[in-house]
């Protein structure tokens, strides 16, 4: 990295506050391969005041512009993680990463925006929103919110309108599992789907049959299986497949788009494939853990090691991971999240006598971009443009913030990463940026390294070092009626028109 103006030796230091006036607001990325979901090209990218100003070869700039040489490297939109849980109260504790540590970790791994799940306070949406806006005051990068719906009444229904029309939320998550806490029943799901449709908001589901999970857990405890392996055994893929199919059918009945979060099994993936083939608007989100790991860890003799892999739906047996990878590369599943929901080993120890008490969740916000590059692109399973689509662009499109996010185009936010395909990464709890003392990808090595992260037009990560400012993260409002809603009303009109031909019945004499 250098300055565009030549100065006496030692005068223009590389960095923000250099004597030469090198501006953090003006950056030229030179000679890299710029990748968008629709094309890749060798070009320069010029950034000013947080916005991409120009993308073309041989851009000439004025004085004191930060020059980054990206020759031989990929210049891509920063990752957008559609699924995280920062500072979430859950299962008797609070996730260990807050909006500072979680986002710092994200930036170090090439993710420049995430969408977190607001959990209502005692079912109250407005209180939940306020609480999360407070938590996010220390944000260091851009973020948006989904909101969970955990109960149903007139107030919740009205508050959904408020969230969409005043607060920039365009998606609501319904938990079909976690009986006794977050779980909702079909009646509520149906109400929620209808309300989402009327608001142009995307309905999201955590698809597992919560009643059957509770039965499965009891079965394991009765058998004396109390360790982390009991977690996987108690909630098999069939329960994920059942709930996925049920949610898909209810969304079909309502005729509204559905987003299935953390697709972990072949069973769920095949339900999504079937529905999409039949023309239904269903989005499937696999997460890094489901694409990379298998459940053998849950049988590890060391409790702390085994417990860190407990998440729901569970990480599945080997084979599900490869099938999910194939589904992602062929477009059956559309985008990748992490479900970053990190706990440290002391928190995981809450379930050392009973797997039902192990806080559910794994890390991933820092690792996703590297893992997906290595597993999908480096292996030859996925093109570089598709990598951008599944890690960034599709998320921006689904949640209606494209092309401000998810693209390197004139006028887009300057959230950009530079990835060196010839460098390597290694994952370790000792060097990661999460506050957790463990990492489910401990020791994983791979090819392709994010060397520079630019967020809001500022270099926030380079040479292995983070430069972040608490409070600099912005809340990104996401407007309703994204592309998934295009034409929905036409299909409704056609359906209702088909019902409108009254049948003339004659009264029978008898
Ligand atoms: O185990 C998980 N997935 N924890 C986070 C909550 C959720 O279900 O997304
Ligand atoms: Zn200078
Ligand atoms: Zn979930
Ligand atoms: Zn989650």
In this predicted complex, what is the ipTM? Answer: 0.96
> Position of tokens 């929905």?
488
Distance from residue 338's CA to the centre of ligand 4 (Å): 8
Q: Identify which of 52, 55, 107 has the alpha carbon closest to the alpha carbon of residue 78.
A: 107
Q: Identify which of 160, 168, 217 has the alpha carbon closest to the alpha carbon of residue 188.
A: 160
Looking at the DSSP bridge assignments, the partners of residue 260 are 205, 284
Hey, whose CA ends up nearest to atom 5 of ligand 1? 361
Q: What is the DSSP string of 223-270?
A: TT--STHHHHHHS-HHHHHHHHHHHHHHHHHHT--EEE-S--SHHHHH
Q: Residue 84: nearest ligand to its CA?
A: 4
Hey, whose CA ends up nearest to atom 8 of ligand 1? 312
Ligand 1 near 363 CB (within 6 A): no
pLDDT at 77: 99
Distance from residue 266's CA to the centre of ligand 1 (Å): 19
Q: Identify which of 30, 31, 42, 33 has the alpha carbon closest to the alpha carbon of residue 377.
A: 33
Q: CA 275, CA 226: separation in Å to the nearest integer?
A: 37
Hey, whose CA ends up nearest to atom 7 of ligand 1? 312
Q: CA 144, CA 82: separation in Å to the nearest integer?
A: 9
Q: Pick the atom of ligand 1 nearest to 117's CA.
A: 9
Q: Is the peptide bond before 313 cis (omega within 30 degrees of 0)?
A: yes
pLDDT at 24: 61
Ligand 1 near 360 CB (within 6 A): yes
Ligand 1 near 358 CB (within 6 A): no
Tokens of 459: 């270099």
pLDDT in tens, 308-351: 999 999 999 999 999 999 999 999 999 999 999 999 999 999 99
Residues 6 or more apart whose Cβ sits within 8 Å of residue 322? none
Hey, whose CA ends up nearest to atom 9 of ligand 1? 339
Which helix (H) or strand (E) segment holds residue 185: the answer is none
Distance from residue 84's CA to the centre of ligand 4 (Å): 6
Ligand 1 near 85 CB (within 6 A): yes
72: left (phi over 0), alpha (psi -120 to 50) or beta: left
Q: Identify which of 330, 313, 316, 345 has the alpha carbon closest to the alpha carbon of residue 429.
A: 345
Q: Which residues surround ligand 4, an ion (CB under 5 A)?
A: 339
Regions in the chain scoring below 70 on pLDDT: 6-24, 510
Q: Pick the atom of ligand 1 nearest to 310's CA.
A: 1
Distance from residue 406's CA to the centre of ligand 4 (Å): 22
Ligand 1 near 95 CB (within 6 A): no
Distance from residue 175's CA to the centre of ligand 3 (Å): 7
Distance from residue 223's CA to the centre of ligand 4 (Å): 29
Ligand 1 near 361 CB (within 6 A): yes
pLDDT in tens, 406-462: 999 999 999 999 999 999 999 999 999 999 999 999 999 999 999 999 999 999 999
Q: Identify which of 292, 311, 236, 246 has the alpha carbon closest to the alpha carbon of residue 272.
A: 246
Does residue 354 contact residue 222 with C-beta atoms inside 8 Å?
A: no
Tokens of 257: 């788009």
Ligand 1 near 341 CB (within 6 A): yes
pLDDT at 7: 53
Tokens of 488: 């929905």
Hey, whose CA ends up nearest to atom 4 of ligand 1? 361
Q: CA 446, CA 439: separation in Å to the nearest integer?
A: 16
Long-range residue pairs from 298-302, CB within 8 A, at least 24 positions apart, any chain: 298/228, 298/229, 298/231, 298/232, 299/229, 300/228
Distance from residue 212's CA to the centre of ligand 3 (Å): 16
pLDDT at 15: 39
Which helix (H) or strand (E) segment holds residue 25: the answer is strand 23-35
Hey, whose CA ends up nearest to atom 3 of ligand 1? 312
Q: What is the DSSP string of 58-120?
A: S----SSEEEEE-TTSEEEEPEEEEEE-SS-EETTEE-S--TTHHHHHHHHTTEEEEEEEEPP
Distance from residue 280's CA to the centre of ligand 1 (Å): 26
Distance from residue 341's CA to the centre of ligand 1 (Å): 7
What pTM does this model have? Answer: 0.96
pLDDT at 221: 98
Q: CA 181, CA 175: separation in Å to the nearest integer?
A: 9
Distance from residue 182's CA to the centre of ligand 3 (Å): 10
Residues in the chain, how many? 510
Ligand 1 near 339 CB (within 6 A): yes
Q: Residue 290: nearest ligand to its CA?
A: 1
Pocket test for ligand 1, best of 82, 84, 85 (most atoms within 8 A of CB): 85
Q: Which residues surround ligand 3, an ion (CB under 5 A)?
A: 206
> Position of tokens 């928190």?
347
Q: CA 259, CA 285: separation in Å to the nearest integer?
A: 7
Instruction: Let me know if 507 is exposed, middle or buried by CB neighbors in 10 A (0-12, 13-18, 19+).
Output: exposed
pLDDT at 20: 57
What is residue 52's DSSP assignment?
Answer: E
Q: How are beta strands 445-455 and 458-462 bridged, if at all? A: antiparallel
């Amino acid at each position: 990295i250098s300055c565009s103006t030549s100065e006496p030796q030692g005068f223009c230091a590389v960095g923000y506050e250099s004597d030469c006036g090198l501006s953090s607001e003006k950056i030229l990325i030179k000679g890299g391969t710029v990748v968008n979901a629709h094309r890749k090209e060798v070009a320069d990218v010029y950034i000013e005041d947080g916005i991409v100003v120009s993308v073309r070869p041989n851009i000439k700039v004025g004085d004191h512009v930060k020059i980054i040489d990206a020759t031989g490297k990929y210049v891509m939109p920063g990752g957008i993680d559609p699924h995280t849980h920062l500072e979430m109260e859950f299962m008797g504790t609070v996730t260990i990463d807050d909006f500072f540590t979680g986002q710092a970790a994200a930036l170090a791994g090439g993710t420049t925006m995430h969408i977190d799940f607001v959990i209502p306070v005692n079912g109250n949406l407005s209180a939940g929103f306020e609480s999360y806006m407070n938590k996010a005051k220390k944000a260091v990068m851009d973020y948006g919110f989904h909101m969970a719906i955990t109960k149903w009444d007139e107030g919740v229904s009205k508050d959904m309108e408020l969230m969409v029309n005043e607060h920039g939320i365009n998606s609501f998550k319904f938990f079909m599992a976690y009986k006794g806490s977050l779980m909702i029943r079909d009646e509520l799901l149906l109400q929620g789907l209808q309300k989402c449709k009327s608001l142009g908001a995307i309905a999201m589901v955590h698809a597992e049959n919560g009643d059957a999970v509770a039965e499965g857990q009891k079965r394991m405890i009765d058998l004396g299986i109390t360790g982390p392996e009991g977690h996987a055994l108690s909630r098999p893929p069939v329960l994920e497949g059942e709930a996925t199919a049920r949610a898909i059918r209810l969304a079909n009945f309502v005729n509204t788009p559905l987003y299935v979060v953390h697709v972990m099994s072949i069973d769920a993936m095949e339900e999504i494939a079937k529905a999409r083939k039949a023309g239904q608007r269903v989005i499937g989100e696999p997460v890094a853990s489901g694409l990379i790991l298998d459940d053998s860890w849950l049988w590890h003799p060391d409790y702390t090691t085994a417990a860190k892999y407990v998440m729901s739906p569970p990480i599945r047996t080997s084979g599900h991971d490869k099938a999910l990878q194939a589904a992602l590369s062929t477009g059956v599943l559309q985008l990748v999240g992490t479900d970053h929901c990190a706990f440290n080993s002391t928190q995981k120890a809450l379930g050392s006598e009973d797997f039902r008490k192990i806080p559910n969740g794994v890390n991933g916000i820092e690792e996703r971009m590297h893992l997906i590059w290595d597993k999908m692109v480096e292996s030859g399973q996925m093109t570089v443009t598709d990598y951008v689509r599944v890690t960034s662009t599709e998320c921006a499109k689904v949640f209606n913030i494209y092309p401000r996010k998810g693209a390197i185009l004139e006028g887009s936010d300057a959230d950009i990463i530079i990835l060196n395909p010839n460098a390597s990464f290694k994952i370790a709890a000792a060097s990661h940026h999460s506050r957790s003392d463990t990492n489910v990808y401990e020791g994983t090595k791979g090819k392709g390294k994010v060397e520079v992260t630019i967020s809001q037009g500022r270099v926030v990560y380079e040479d292995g070092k983070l430069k972040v400012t608490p409070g600099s993260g912005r809340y990104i409002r996401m407007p309703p009626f994204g592309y998934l809603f295009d034409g929905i009303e036409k299909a409704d009109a056609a359906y209702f028109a088909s019902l409108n031909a009254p049948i003339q019945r004659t009264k029978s004499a008898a």
